[in-house]
Amino acid sequence: MCIRDRIDILAIGSSTGGPDALTKVLLGLPADLPVPVVITQHMPPVFTKMFAERLDRGTPLKVVEAGDGMELTAGTVYIAPGDRHLVFNRKGTSTLTQLSNAPQENSCRPAVDVMFRSVAALYGATAYAAILTGMGQDGRGGAKVLRDAGCEILAQDEASSVVWGMPGAVVGAGLADEVLPLERISAALLNRVRVGRSAAVAR
């Protein structure tokens, strides 16, 4: 793993307590963030669209519920829609979203594991992943695939998590490069994105 590699995408997974945690993380990221952000939050249909709209109004970044065939662009957050896995494919030099009706994983659809595996396949070590508060172990398997691809992984700490199931599973498996309280996660993500970029581009 080379921590000097430039990061081209942020991938975040969360569940119980995730909406508040994600709001706080996205509030700390600037509108000119030079990479896209992809998120799987366990949430039923309809609610994901409402959540995306609320984040779009209340945070600096553009936030959308992911649909089929959206091109990933810097400064935009793509949230997996309820009951659909979020994966990605390449078309030329562009990365496009793809929604999947594949079976549930970890009793979840969307599942963090599915998204993480897809990010690993396309981005490898140029991805940076974060696993936030949530019940269960979704994200642990995908984090292993990301780690094997050279990706760095950040986990929310137990004290600031509503439920430490998901981040705790990643930490317990020895897959977390950093374990941080919620209030420090935005800065950690932004600092990592700045590696390999000038301060003028990433400020």
Just list the catalytic residues.
Answer: 15, 42, 138
Helices and strands (H, E) in the chain, number of each type: 7, 9
Closest CA to 60 of 15, 35, 23: 23
Report the alpha-carbon angle 77-78-80, nearest 5: 145
Sheet holding 62-65, edge to edge: 62-65, 76-79, 37-41, 9-14, 127-131, 152-156, 178-180
